[in-house]
Structure 1
Amino acid sequence: MHRVMIVDDEPLIREGLRTIVDWEEYGFQVADAAGDAMEALRKLPEAAPGLMIVDIRMPGMDGLELLRAVRERCRPCPKFLILSGHADFEYARTALQLKVDGYLLKPIDEEELARHLERIGESLREERTEAAERWSRESAIQKLLTGEEDVAFEKADLRWSSYEALLVKLLGRDEPDAKRVAGIKRRLVERFDRTDEGAVFSAEPYLGIALKDTMNRSSARGRAYRLIAEACEETDFDAASGGAVASLADLAGSYEKARELMKRRFLFAGGGIVSEEPPLPADAAEADSGAASESEEKLFLALDAANSDAAEAALRRLGAAWLAAGASEQEIKTGFAARMSATLSKLAQSRPEIRDYVQSLDSELASLAAEYRYDLLIARLSSISARVAEKLRFAGAGPDMQVQRMIELIRRNSAENLKLEALAEALGYNSSYLGKLFKSATGDYFNTYLDKVRIEKAKEMLRKGMKVYQVAELVGYANVDYFHAKFRKYVGLSPVAYRKNAADSR
């Protein structure tokens, strides 16, 4: 029996509808009644009607508002018969636009109601049969994919000329809730099962589609993608295909290939169904084991030089090095967040004017984990870099200003492993040209100037009585003997002698 709920604010009509026809003759039973829309919504879960007969005019929420509310809450949605008086033409026109299942004028004609019940009853029976068949097909596919032997293929109607497994992953910075997933699955069923183009099945954490007869149809995946996009509406998604196979027994192999492809989903660009391993970024093939640490240094220098383009290039090289090393999606996200945070903290120490701004970026760095595509992650990081660079950007960009930037970079970062090539890249100049420009402006070659800055800082530390090996490391010399040689060259004394003279003069 199909269950019925009657909703009308007039008690006589509610009771009259209970007795006007022999409900059981048409396969229905009156499960419940309500005097207004809010009461109907409260009773809806327990009544579980297949048909609702609703007055179009009621106090508070009217019948059309109730219809919309029920459609939002119920899957599958009940059928609707709308009751209306002669003066409700505008309501009736809206009801037709909402595609109700029937329209009855008051006073209700018994024969007209009976005709509606016959038609709606037949429609409900067909839907139940279709739902049972679809469940049988989904169940058969799931059993096949998990290796169960007892599969009712004949009942499931899966004798096709070819098969192709698609997997769909719904995406978002927040995980799609169960209601949205159920709605998308229902719309997929409408587009594939009910049009006999395939069969939809659940395959956590994916939605699966077994495509029918696609082996020799070059346009099949394009059409499948459009249908999936329609079903997903505003929800982004990725889709992967395991390829078409000729026999049902091979569908499991197609499914497994699709699952393997989904493991690299982070690199999918979207906009189509992926059927081959997504390529690594172009520069990943050239990345070596030292590329990551070198890119971190270049990222810091690029930001310090307020060069957003160079910063983006460094970020891309850093990501490429991790991808080439086989890092997972989570490792890449965590790595970027940690490196970016460390770089900005280091920058804030040397550039106090942006310290507050850098601290304000903490929550944005934490949210990087929500990015679900590699390209989107790089874009977010590049956006952060560009905003930091904008905060630091000097006025003017002529050669004199570039030399001044270079001098400031050296003085702030003299303890780092600075190289002319890296500074030139950070500033956006050719290294040979910038070296000549620097020599002309300062009278020293880059390396000589760097040594002088380091030695001056070393002298300050030695005057404070610090140990020689500590000073060597703090100013940027990993080799103490090399530090001794440089110090003697520019000061004329050994570091120990210089420290002793400084102590004697106090």
Structure 2
Amino acid sequence: MMNVLLVDDEPWVLEGLRTMVNWNKYGFQICGEAENGNAAWSIIENLRPDLVFTDIHMPSVNGLELIDRSIQNLAKPPRFVILSGYDSFDYVKTALEQRVEDYLLKPIDEVEIENVLEQMSRKIQNELVSEKLYQHERNLYVNCLFNRLFEGEDSSELQAEVESILQMEGHENMACLLIEADTCNEDIQLHVQRFASAPHYEFFMDADGRMGVFAAEIEDSLIWLERLGRSLFEMYSGHASIIAAFGYHSGGVVAMRQAYEKAFSALKWKRYQEESGIICDQDLPRNGIMATVNQKALTNLFNTILTGEENGIEREVNELLSNPGSGLSVSDIEYVRVQLLALEMGVLKHLKELDGDVDRFKFQLQHLLGGLTDIDSYPAFREYAHILSINALRALQEQRKEKECSTIFRVVQYVNHEFRQKLQLQELAQKFHMNANYLGQAFKQQTGKSFREYLNDKRIEEAKRLLRQSCSSIAEVAISSGYPNADYFVSQFKRMTGMAPSTYRKQP
């Protein structure tokens, strides 16, 4: 619904407007009423209505002054319709100069005002559609630019383009706010995007889907950015696990990558502490480099777990934790915690891929082991890792047996992983030692779709993801989704979605 504000110093006029007009019919709802210009201005500042009906002669600030103030102070002022008992040419001329949408004389005619509402509804909705399309295209472009920066590109052309977007020429200090939450992401994103629509701020999504805002230090921009982080935490911490992390760096546009990396390091630190909250890169401990995951040792431990080699777990756990001896320093404690958190997340990922009960497993672990933050000795860490690994091995084995009793499940898993390759039902039947006709029937019974339908759906879903989240060309999306060429991909995409890939990418 679009919001409309009614402004008149005569209560009977406000009552008549409220009761006489079917606002909902034209997509409007009354968001407020005011009997003078100052009260109206306060509502406009706070609620940003789409449309304002206002009288001219009112106490304190008259209607024309209210319109002028809105135009001068708001990046996107509401549309105005004048309601007046005066048909003076001077008033009409002034109103037209201020680009008022219409000038209606009192007493108000119901048909006349509904004609105006119909026109305004159409005009505002068309404008909103255009704005959403423009913002969607701009967000895609900005994300591409920022992710190129994050990946280390430092060409002068890229720097100039980013400077232009942020309107930050000549400004040295940069700040980055990164936000990560486990729920409420759509609401948080809308809140952040509204904030970042103001000058000197820029919303982005990084490659892992985290929300962020960049700001150059212009006037009080960094103070307002910090207020955003605090307000988000206050608003959503009761409903979600949320981290707001800040990174700061000097050096103009070239500092944006470092500001982002500092914010990301702060966010990881907070996550490794198993805490929600607000953190700044300056708050990180200075007694060592941020701990990183020992990927080689972690992979070896996972291979042992997945192959069911229970006797090899103790050896691989010791290798992962690399016994630092007694009397752990804080940095060593954090190193070990990072390895165990990576192990936990990997176990949960594998269990989820097998359609296991992740929440139940987490609850059992919590009941059995407690929390990582309560552990401060190496033997306790090692015992935690050993028990976690044994329980993961048994849970994954049990889940795998439950699923692998059906050969069709393994076929579906294979298609889910290999859908980008050239797949044929006959070849799958040979690979899994089945009759092709029976496999086709059993596949449809398991998934509700024929093999070809299921394969096309997987490829189209992957294509949609790439169109939304990457800057790849249509031809590149086609190949990455499993289609042999762009023409065939486009025809299949149109058949299954009703629109061309380029049109889908432009959708808000």
TM-score (norm 1): 0.35
Q: Which has the greater radius of gyration?
A: 1
